[in-house]
Structure 1
Amino acid sequence: MTQATQPKKGILVTDTAMQHLRQLRAQQSADLCLRVGVRGGGCSGMSYTMDFDSADNIRDDDEVFAYEDGFRIIVDPKSLLYIYGMQLDYSTALIGGGFQFSNPNASQTCGCGKSFGV
């Protein structure tokens, strides 16, 4: 596992994940934030969501975590209850590659790594 970039609290992002996120953001627009959340569904009951969002869409009750170079992650308050302290990593492996979620709040996870139960 690579070194994690850590804001004051909230979501840890490894250097590998941050590099990949910055590349993805650069392909779209430099002023986008990453919105991370959870929704019902998936193999274990809840699944992670991630998408780029405009800073104009940040709501008053959203938690905003600032990282180096102005990169921001936005989390709605309900999702934050389930993912607070989570680590986001990225793997380049041919099988099982992509974003990896390591969630200390999950009581169970499924094999795909994209869903969890609490």
Structure 2
Amino acid sequence: MTQATETKQKGIQLTEQALQHILALRNQQGKDLFLRVGVRQGGCSGMSYLMDFEEPSQVRDNDEIFDYDGFKIVCDPKSLLYLYGLVLDYSNAMIGGGFQFTNPNASQSCGCGKSFSV
């Protein structure tokens, strides 16, 4: 098994709005947590996005780690195949607000933007 790698070139991009919102959510948890981003089978387009906070001790040896000035995003290698180049944005608009995924690997996305197909 290889050791977790910290990548300088970010395969998962965050806009400033997304980073600020994620940091605010993490601060509410009262812990220094990482953000895990991934995919799973399901959703109306075949695959759905996953995002959740995770303890640093739960990072696996083969996870990719992306550092944003001390805040870390982790992604497993299988998910990264589908997410490489993803841009995660956040909008506080009343209609259509929340996290938005712009995935260059998606051939099709559902109307809500939370699932995709490749």
Q: What's the TM-score, normalizing by structure 1?
A: 0.92
Q: What residue identity is the alignment partner of 1:117?
A: S
Query: Which sections of structure 1, spanning at least 5 residues, go unmatched?
Result: 1-6
Identify unmatched segments of 5+ residues in structure 2: 1-7
Deviations 1:9-62 (A, max 9, x none): 211100000000000000003410000000000010000000000000000010
Alignment correspondent of 1:13: 14
Equivalenced residue count is 111
Q: Whole-Å Cα distance in 1 between the matches of residues 19 and 112 of structure 2? A: 21
Give the TM-score, by structure 2 length. 0.92
Q: Percent same amino acid among aligned pairs? A: 67
The 1-side partners of 2:58 and 2:45 are apart by 29
Instruction: Determine the C-alpha separation between the residues in 2 that align with 1:26 and 1:51.
Output: 14
Aligned counterpart, 2:58? 57
What is the Cα-based RMSD across aligned positions, in Å?
A: 0.8
- Aligned partners of 1:9 and 1:90: how far apart in 2? 18
Q: What is the DSSP-based 3-state SS (H/G/I as helix, E as strand, rest coil) of the residue aligned with 1:43?
A: coil
Equivalent-residue separation in structure 1 for 2:82 and 2:52 (angstroms): 17
Tell me the secondary structure at the aligned position of residue 93 of structure 1.
Answer: coil
- Provide the residue aligned with 1:75 in structure 2: 75
